[in-house]
Amino acid sequence: MLDYKEILNFAPYSLSKHEKEGLLTRKLTELTLFHYENCAEYKKILDCLGFNAGKINSYYDIPFLPVSIFKELDLMSIEKSDVFKTVTSSGTSGQAVSKIYLDKITAGNQQKTLAKIVSDYIGPKRIPMMIIDSPSVITDRSKFSARGAGITGFSIFGSEKTYALNDDMSININAINAFLEKHRSEDILLYGFTFIIWQHFYSKLIELNAKVDLSGGVLIHGGGWKKLNSEAVSQSEFKRRLNTAFGLLHVHDYYGMAEQAGCVCVECELGYLHASVYSDIITRHHIDFSPCDIGEAGIIQVVSILPESYPGHLLLTEDEGVILGEDNCLCGRKGKYFKINGRLKNAEIRGCSDTYAAKF
Protein backbone atom coordinates (compact mmCIF):
# COMPACT_ATOMS: atom_id res chain seq x y z
CA MET A 1 0.00 0.00 0.00
CA LEU A 2 1.26 3.49 -0.86
CA ASP A 3 2.94 4.79 2.30
CA TYR A 4 1.16 7.78 3.80
CA LYS A 5 4.54 9.25 4.79
CA GLU A 6 5.36 9.62 1.10
CA ILE A 7 2.12 11.51 0.48
CA LEU A 8 2.89 13.89 3.33
CA ASN A 9 5.90 15.07 1.34
CA PHE A 10 3.50 16.91 -0.97
CA ALA A 11 2.64 20.47 0.00
CA PRO A 12 -1.06 20.57 0.94
CA TYR A 13 -2.28 22.57 -2.07
CA SER A 14 0.35 21.73 -4.67
CA LEU A 15 -1.24 19.18 -7.02
CA SER A 16 -3.37 19.95 -10.06
CA LYS A 17 -6.70 18.22 -10.69
CA HIS A 18 -5.16 15.52 -12.89
CA GLU A 19 -2.26 14.82 -10.52
CA LYS A 20 -4.48 14.71 -7.46
CA GLU A 21 -7.10 12.46 -9.04
CA GLY A 22 -4.45 9.90 -9.94
CA LEU A 23 -3.01 9.92 -6.43
CA LEU A 24 -6.38 9.69 -4.70
CA THR A 25 -7.70 6.96 -6.97
CA ARG A 26 -4.65 4.78 -6.30
CA LYS A 27 -4.58 5.32 -2.56
CA LEU A 28 -8.36 5.10 -2.02
CA THR A 29 -8.55 1.88 -4.03
CA GLU A 30 -5.81 0.42 -1.84
CA LEU A 31 -7.58 1.60 1.32
CA THR A 32 -10.90 0.16 0.18
CA LEU A 33 -9.36 -3.25 -0.44
CA PHE A 34 -7.51 -3.11 2.88
CA HIS A 35 -10.70 -2.36 4.83
CA TYR A 36 -12.63 -4.93 2.77
CA GLU A 37 -10.18 -7.59 3.90
CA ASN A 38 -9.84 -6.46 7.52
CA CYS A 39 -13.30 -5.21 8.57
CA ALA A 40 -16.03 -7.86 8.38
CA GLU A 41 -18.91 -5.38 8.63
CA TYR A 42 -17.46 -3.22 5.85
CA LYS A 43 -17.05 -6.30 3.64
CA LYS A 44 -20.72 -7.21 4.15
CA ILE A 45 -21.80 -3.70 3.17
CA LEU A 46 -19.70 -3.65 0.00
CA ASP A 47 -20.81 -7.16 -0.94
CA CYS A 48 -24.44 -6.04 -0.66
CA LEU A 49 -23.63 -3.13 -2.96
CA GLY A 50 -22.08 -5.46 -5.53
CA PHE A 51 -18.60 -4.01 -5.13
CA ASN A 52 -16.16 -4.96 -7.90
CA ALA A 53 -12.64 -3.56 -7.57
CA GLY A 54 -12.00 -4.22 -11.24
CA LYS A 55 -14.57 -1.58 -12.21
CA ILE A 56 -12.89 1.30 -10.34
CA ASN A 57 -11.73 3.92 -12.82
CA SER A 58 -11.78 6.80 -10.35
CA TYR A 59 -12.32 7.24 -6.62
CA TYR A 60 -15.71 8.69 -7.58
CA ASP A 61 -16.72 5.09 -8.39
CA ILE A 62 -15.89 3.59 -4.98
CA PRO A 63 -18.92 3.04 -2.67
CA PHE A 64 -19.27 5.50 0.20
CA LEU A 65 -20.77 5.03 3.65
CA PRO A 66 -23.27 7.36 5.33
CA VAL A 67 -21.49 9.22 8.10
CA SER A 68 -24.22 8.17 10.54
CA ILE A 69 -23.20 4.51 10.27
CA PHE A 70 -20.55 5.04 12.95
CA LYS A 71 -23.39 5.64 15.41
CA GLU A 72 -24.77 2.18 14.68
CA LEU A 73 -21.72 -0.01 14.15
CA ASP A 74 -18.26 -0.37 15.65
CA LEU A 75 -16.20 -0.29 12.48
CA MET A 76 -12.49 -0.96 12.71
CA SER A 77 -9.86 -2.64 10.57
CA ILE A 78 -7.48 -3.34 13.46
CA GLU A 79 -7.49 -5.60 16.48
CA LYS A 80 -9.20 -4.16 19.55
CA SER A 81 -5.88 -4.47 21.38
CA ASP A 82 -4.36 -2.02 18.88
CA VAL A 83 -6.87 0.76 19.59
CA PHE A 84 -4.84 3.69 20.86
CA LYS A 85 -7.56 6.31 21.03
CA THR A 86 -11.34 6.46 20.62
CA VAL A 87 -12.85 9.69 19.32
CA THR A 88 -16.56 10.35 19.76
CA SER A 89 -18.57 12.77 17.68
CA SER A 90 -20.50 15.65 19.16
CA GLY A 91 -24.15 15.08 20.04
CA THR A 92 -26.94 16.65 22.03
CA SER A 93 -28.56 14.82 24.93
CA GLY A 94 -30.24 11.64 23.72
CA GLN A 95 -28.35 11.53 20.41
CA ALA A 96 -26.22 8.53 19.61
CA VAL A 97 -22.58 9.45 18.95
CA SER A 98 -20.13 8.11 16.42
CA LYS A 99 -17.18 6.12 17.73
CA ILE A 100 -13.96 6.30 15.75
CA TYR A 101 -11.15 3.89 16.60
CA LEU A 102 -7.57 4.98 15.98
CA ASP A 103 -4.33 3.07 16.25
CA LYS A 104 -1.05 4.86 16.93
CA ILE A 105 -0.18 5.14 13.23
CA THR A 106 -3.51 6.72 12.21
CA ALA A 107 -3.51 9.05 15.23
CA GLY A 108 0.04 10.14 14.39
CA ASN A 109 -0.84 10.72 10.74
CA GLN A 110 -3.78 12.87 11.83
CA GLN A 111 -1.45 15.19 13.72
CA LYS A 112 1.06 15.35 10.88
CA THR A 113 -1.66 16.05 8.30
CA LEU A 114 -3.23 18.79 10.39
CA ALA A 115 0.21 20.34 10.88
CA LYS A 116 0.86 20.43 7.13
CA ILE A 117 -2.53 22.01 6.35
CA VAL A 118 -2.62 24.65 9.06
CA SER A 119 1.04 25.61 8.60
CA ASP A 120 0.06 26.83 5.14
CA TYR A 121 -2.03 29.50 6.89
CA ILE A 122 -0.01 30.42 9.98
CA GLY A 123 3.54 29.42 9.03
CA PRO A 124 5.70 26.52 10.25
CA LYS A 125 6.76 27.94 13.60
CA ARG A 126 4.91 27.28 16.84
CA ILE A 127 3.54 30.49 18.34
CA PRO A 128 1.83 31.47 21.62
CA MET A 129 -1.71 30.10 21.62
CA MET A 130 -4.93 31.07 23.39
CA ILE A 131 -7.54 28.31 23.49
CA ILE A 132 -11.02 29.78 23.80
CA ASP A 133 -12.44 26.95 25.87
CA SER A 134 -12.14 25.25 29.22
CA PRO A 135 -9.17 23.00 30.14
CA SER A 136 -11.59 20.39 31.51
CA VAL A 137 -12.58 19.38 27.95
CA ILE A 138 -9.42 17.30 27.47
CA THR A 139 -9.31 15.56 30.85
CA ASP A 140 -9.55 12.01 29.48
CA ARG A 141 -6.79 11.65 26.88
CA SER A 142 -7.74 8.12 25.82
CA LYS A 143 -11.35 8.95 24.89
CA PHE A 144 -11.92 12.32 23.31
CA SER A 145 -15.02 14.12 22.26
CA ALA A 146 -14.67 15.79 18.89
CA ARG A 147 -14.32 19.09 20.75
CA GLY A 148 -11.50 17.76 22.91
CA ALA A 149 -9.84 16.13 19.91
CA GLY A 150 -9.96 19.46 18.06
CA ILE A 151 -8.31 21.30 20.92
CA THR A 152 -5.65 18.63 21.31
CA GLY A 153 -4.98 18.53 17.58
CA PHE A 154 -4.58 22.27 17.14
CA SER A 155 -2.53 22.56 20.33
CA ILE A 156 0.51 21.31 18.42
CA PHE A 157 0.81 24.82 16.97
CA GLY A 158 1.15 26.47 20.38
CA SER A 159 4.57 27.20 21.86
CA GLU A 160 2.75 28.23 25.03
CA LYS A 161 -0.94 27.61 25.72
CA THR A 162 -3.44 29.55 27.80
CA TYR A 163 -7.13 28.78 28.27
CA ALA A 164 -9.43 31.80 28.04
CA LEU A 165 -12.26 30.17 30.00
CA ASN A 166 -12.57 28.57 33.42
CA ASP A 167 -13.95 25.08 33.99
CA ASP A 168 -17.45 26.52 34.44
CA MET A 169 -17.10 28.30 31.04
CA SER A 170 -16.85 31.73 32.68
CA ILE A 171 -14.34 34.12 31.17
CA ASN A 172 -10.87 34.17 32.73
CA ILE A 173 -10.05 37.81 32.14
CA ASN A 174 -6.91 37.68 34.27
CA ALA A 175 -5.44 34.84 32.21
CA ILE A 176 -6.34 36.64 28.97
CA ASN A 177 -4.74 39.92 30.05
CA ALA A 178 -1.60 38.20 31.35
CA PHE A 179 -1.21 36.25 28.10
CA LEU A 180 -1.65 39.31 25.89
CA GLU A 181 0.69 41.41 28.01
CA LYS A 182 3.41 38.76 27.88
CA HIS A 183 3.11 38.35 24.09
CA ARG A 184 2.30 41.94 23.20
CA SER A 185 4.79 42.19 20.34
CA GLU A 186 4.36 38.63 19.02
CA ASP A 187 2.05 36.86 16.60
CA ILE A 188 -0.48 34.71 18.45
CA LEU A 189 -2.86 31.91 17.52
CA LEU A 190 -6.41 31.72 18.84
CA TYR A 191 -8.49 28.57 18.52
CA GLY A 192 -12.00 27.57 19.50
CA PHE A 193 -15.48 26.55 18.44
CA THR A 194 -17.64 29.16 16.82
CA PHE A 195 -20.55 29.37 19.26
CA ILE A 196 -18.26 29.20 22.30
CA ILE A 197 -16.18 32.07 20.94
CA TRP A 198 -19.32 34.10 20.37
CA GLN A 199 -21.20 33.29 23.59
CA HIS A 200 -18.44 32.94 26.18
CA PHE A 201 -15.63 35.08 24.80
CA TYR A 202 -16.83 37.88 22.53
CA SER A 203 -20.14 38.55 24.30
CA LYS A 204 -18.65 38.41 27.81
CA LEU A 205 -15.76 40.71 26.93
CA ILE A 206 -18.24 43.17 25.46
CA GLU A 207 -20.32 43.00 28.67
CA LEU A 208 -17.18 43.69 30.71
CA ASN A 209 -16.20 46.52 28.35
CA ALA A 210 -12.76 44.89 28.32
CA LYS A 211 -10.04 46.46 26.17
CA VAL A 212 -8.51 43.47 24.43
CA ASP A 213 -6.07 43.88 21.54
CA LEU A 214 -5.98 40.87 19.21
CA SER A 215 -4.61 42.70 16.18
CA GLY A 216 -1.58 40.40 16.12
CA GLY A 217 -3.69 37.26 16.22
CA VAL A 218 -4.91 34.59 13.82
CA LEU A 219 -8.18 32.93 14.82
CA ILE A 220 -9.03 29.43 13.60
CA HIS A 221 -12.52 28.28 14.50
CA GLY A 222 -15.00 25.57 13.55
CA GLY A 223 -17.85 23.39 14.72
CA GLY A 224 -20.88 24.60 12.78
CA TRP A 225 -22.94 27.74 12.18
CA LYS A 226 -26.53 26.61 12.67
CA LYS A 227 -27.04 28.28 16.06
CA LEU A 228 -25.39 31.57 15.12
CA ASN A 229 -27.19 31.72 11.78
CA SER A 230 -30.47 31.31 13.64
CA GLU A 231 -29.47 34.37 15.67
CA ALA A 232 -28.78 36.30 12.44
CA VAL A 233 -25.01 36.20 12.92
CA SER A 234 -23.46 35.43 9.54
CA GLN A 235 -19.83 34.60 8.89
CA SER A 236 -19.19 38.12 7.64
CA GLU A 237 -20.91 39.63 10.71
CA PHE A 238 -18.92 37.35 13.00
CA LYS A 239 -15.68 38.58 11.47
CA ARG A 240 -16.79 42.21 11.45
CA ARG A 241 -17.70 42.17 15.16
CA LEU A 242 -14.40 40.56 16.18
CA ASN A 243 -12.49 43.08 14.10
CA THR A 244 -14.40 46.05 15.49
CA ALA A 245 -14.11 44.92 19.10
CA PHE A 246 -10.58 43.50 19.19
CA GLY A 247 -8.83 44.51 15.97
CA LEU A 248 -8.76 40.88 14.84
CA LEU A 249 -8.02 40.77 11.10
CA HIS A 250 -7.21 37.14 10.31
CA VAL A 251 -10.13 34.77 10.92
CA HIS A 252 -10.33 31.30 9.32
CA ASP A 253 -13.29 28.95 9.64
CA TYR A 254 -12.70 25.27 8.96
CA TYR A 255 -14.85 22.29 7.99
CA GLY A 256 -14.11 18.90 9.48
CA MET A 257 -15.60 16.09 11.53
CA ALA A 258 -14.64 13.42 14.03
CA GLU A 259 -15.19 10.72 11.44
CA GLN A 260 -12.31 12.12 9.36
CA ALA A 261 -10.35 14.09 11.96
CA GLY A 262 -7.10 15.58 10.68
CA CYS A 263 -8.24 16.24 7.12
CA VAL A 264 -9.82 19.63 7.71
CA CYS A 265 -10.80 22.10 5.00
CA VAL A 266 -9.65 25.57 6.05
CA GLU A 267 -11.10 28.86 4.84
CA CYS A 268 -8.71 30.92 2.72
CA GLU A 269 -8.21 34.68 2.85
CA LEU A 270 -11.02 35.12 0.30
CA GLY A 271 -13.55 33.24 2.42
CA TYR A 272 -13.60 29.87 0.60
CA LEU A 273 -13.03 26.44 2.12
CA HIS A 274 -10.26 24.40 0.48
CA ALA A 275 -9.70 20.65 0.18
CA SER A 276 -6.05 19.67 0.55
CA VAL A 277 -3.96 17.09 -1.33
CA TYR A 278 -4.78 14.58 1.43
CA SER A 279 -8.54 14.90 1.04
CA ASP A 280 -11.29 15.94 -1.29
CA ILE A 281 -15.00 16.66 -1.41
CA ILE A 282 -17.60 15.56 -3.91
CA THR A 283 -21.10 17.04 -4.10
CA ARG A 284 -23.85 14.61 -5.07
CA HIS A 285 -27.43 15.00 -6.25
CA HIS A 286 -30.12 14.29 -3.68
CA ILE A 287 -32.08 11.89 -5.92
CA ASP A 288 -29.51 9.49 -7.38
CA PHE A 289 -26.20 10.50 -5.70
CA SER A 290 -24.59 11.25 -9.06
CA PRO A 291 -21.83 13.90 -8.88
CA CYS A 292 -22.91 17.52 -9.19
CA ASP A 293 -21.31 20.02 -11.51
CA ILE A 294 -19.29 22.97 -10.25
CA GLY A 295 -21.69 25.63 -8.97
CA GLU A 296 -24.48 23.10 -8.35
CA ALA A 297 -25.66 22.46 -4.78
CA GLY A 298 -25.56 18.91 -3.51
CA ILE A 299 -24.91 16.59 -0.57
CA ILE A 300 -21.29 16.73 0.49
CA GLN A 301 -19.21 13.57 0.37
CA VAL A 302 -15.92 13.85 2.22
CA VAL A 303 -12.91 11.94 0.97
CA SER A 304 -9.72 11.25 2.92
CA ILE A 305 -6.71 9.03 2.38
CA LEU A 306 -5.88 9.18 6.09
CA PRO A 307 -8.11 6.55 7.82
CA GLU A 308 -6.24 3.25 7.98
CA SER A 309 -7.56 1.92 11.29
CA TYR A 310 -11.24 2.21 10.30
CA PRO A 311 -13.18 2.47 7.00
CA GLY A 312 -13.86 6.20 7.11
CA HIS A 313 -12.17 7.17 3.86
CA LEU A 314 -15.34 7.82 1.81
CA LEU A 315 -18.30 9.25 3.72
CA LEU A 316 -21.57 10.89 2.71
CA THR A 317 -22.34 13.67 5.17
CA GLU A 318 -25.60 15.31 6.17
CA ASP A 319 -24.43 18.69 4.86
CA GLU A 320 -25.22 20.52 1.64
CA GLY A 321 -22.65 22.60 -0.20
CA VAL A 322 -21.43 23.95 -3.51
CA ILE A 323 -18.06 23.46 -5.18
CA LEU A 324 -17.14 26.87 -6.56
CA GLY A 325 -14.11 25.90 -8.62
CA GLU A 326 -10.94 23.86 -8.84
CA ASP A 327 -7.30 24.94 -9.21
CA ASN A 328 -8.32 28.56 -9.89
CA CYS A 329 -8.97 30.24 -6.54
CA LEU A 330 -7.36 33.68 -6.48
CA CYS A 331 -5.69 32.82 -3.16
CA GLY A 332 -3.30 30.65 -5.21
CA ARG A 333 -4.08 27.28 -3.61
CA LYS A 334 -4.78 24.39 -5.97
CA GLY A 335 -7.62 21.94 -5.46
CA LYS A 336 -11.36 22.34 -5.00
CA TYR A 337 -12.75 25.29 -3.10
CA PHE A 338 -16.30 25.36 -1.83
CA LYS A 339 -18.88 26.70 0.61
CA ILE A 340 -21.30 25.01 3.00
CA ASN A 341 -24.98 25.87 2.59
CA GLY A 342 -26.01 24.16 5.83
CA ARG A 343 -27.47 20.96 7.19
CA LEU A 344 -29.85 18.85 5.14
CA LYS A 345 -33.47 19.20 6.17
CA ASN A 346 -34.35 17.02 9.19
CA ALA A 347 -30.69 16.10 9.78
CA GLU A 348 -29.54 16.06 13.40
CA ILE A 349 -27.50 18.91 14.83
CA ARG A 350 -24.01 17.44 15.00
CA GLY A 351 -21.29 20.12 14.82
CA CYS A 352 -19.36 20.67 18.05
CA SER A 353 -20.33 24.31 18.13
CA ASP A 354 -23.98 23.63 17.35
CA THR A 355 -24.45 20.72 19.75
CA TYR A 356 -22.87 22.73 22.56
CA ALA A 357 -25.19 25.63 21.68
CA ALA A 358 -28.20 23.31 21.87
CA LYS A 359 -27.16 22.16 25.35
CA PHE A 360 -26.36 25.74 26.36
pLDDT digits (tens, 9 = 90+) for 271-302: 999 999 999 999 999 999 999 999 999 999 99
Provide, rounded to the nearest whole percent, the portion of the chain with pLDDT above 70.
89
Question: What superfamily in CATH does domain 1-360 come from?
Answer: ANL, N-terminal domain (3.40.50.12780)
- Burial class of residue 256, CB neighbours in 10 A (0-12, 13-18, 19+): buried
- Amino acid identity of 157? F
Between CA 214 and CA 292 the distance in angstroms is 40
- Which of 228, 201, 225 is closest to 214 using CA atoms? 201
Per-residue model confidence as pLDDT tens digits over 144-185: 567 887 888 899 999 999 999 999 999 999 999 999 999 998
Task: Return the SS3 of 151.
Answer: helix
Task: Enumerate the H helices of the chain as residue ranges.
Answer: 4-7, 17-38, 40-48, 104-122, 146-154, 173-182, 194-196, 203-207, 226-230, 235-246, 352-359
- Choose among 268, 330, 305: nearest CA to 10: 305
pTM, two decimals, is: 0.89
Where on the phi/psi map is residue 271: left (φ > 0), alpha (ψ -120 to 50), or beta?
left
Judge whether 20 and 275 are in contact, CB under 8 Å: no
| Antiparallel, parallel or unpaired: β 314-326 and 336-343 | antiparallel
**Cα dihedral value 242, 247, 249, 250, nearest 10:** -70
Interval 14-26: pLDDT, tens: 999 999 999 999 9
Q: What is the mean pLDDT of the chain?
A: 89
